[in-house]
Amino acid sequence: MAFCYKNAVLPLRQARKGASKVRASFEVQVGAAAGWIGLIGVFVAFIAIPTAIAGQPPTVNTAPPDVMAYFRHPEFALINGVLGVFVGIVAIVPFGYALRSILGSGNDPRARTFADLGFALMLVTAPVYLVSSALGAMLVQAANGDPATFASLFRLYDVMYDGGADILEGAWIGAFSIAALWGTSFPRWVGWLGVVVTLSRWIKAFVPVAQVPEIVIPIGGVLFLAWFLAVVVALTLEARRPSAARGVAPAAA
């Protein structure tokens, strides 16, 4: 009786285990697709198009009339109010969940801990992205109004976007990168590149409150895009691997 029960239950447990692995593979596929959407969205909507329309983005060191002139382009309302929300929330969250799934799937508890921490920090950062995008859209309307009101709103936007968001963004990038260093899913150089990106993000976060060399901003942006691309490619390669759980055959009676 015990032998028959074991033979009957074991295939069911194997099937359930196989189903969970198939679901995990699907999560990674969705996350890889979201990563590509996020990468293309960041480059096109927040770098290529704004630069083509208005040049380099302003900082607290930019003269107030030049800042107002920059935000008088109505296209920025669509970019910040719509595309910013899509990239910052809809794309980045499933991308981070897939990273957590892959980087935390090994046997090293340190990698699992930092993968969980990276996703938790990303969830905290997502609302900051949302608020920053909303403030960016509001600046388009305020650019045609009172200069003092615009200056106050831009100061809040700069502290939120170039300060708080960069600190949190550097934190979740750093956590995922440390998980990559201790894990076996991604190449180690991707993890080290992420550590460098984290440091560059934290240096850039001082822009609203201190003098930071202007060269830090473009270099940090290039490093971020390089890390983002490397991670999305690595995640895509993981998503293309066939699940080990497919075709689980039931045990013989």
Q: Can you give the residue ranges of every domain in the chain?
A: 15-240
C-alpha–C-alpha distance, residues 166 and 171, integer Å: 8
Q: What is the pTM of this model?
A: 0.82
The answer to whether the beta carbons of residues 224 and 201 sit under 8 Å apart is yes
Q: Which residues of the chain have pLDDT under 50?
A: 1-24, 244-253
How far is residue 249 from each of residues 10, 13, 151, 170, 241, measured CA to CA in Å? 11, 12, 67, 45, 20
| CA of residue 179 relative to chain centroid, distance | 15
pLDDT at 4: 45
pLDDT at 143: 92
C-alpha–C-alpha distance, residues 189 and 206, integer Å: 27
pLDDT at 213: 80
C-alpha–C-alpha distance, residues 173 and 231, integer Å: 11
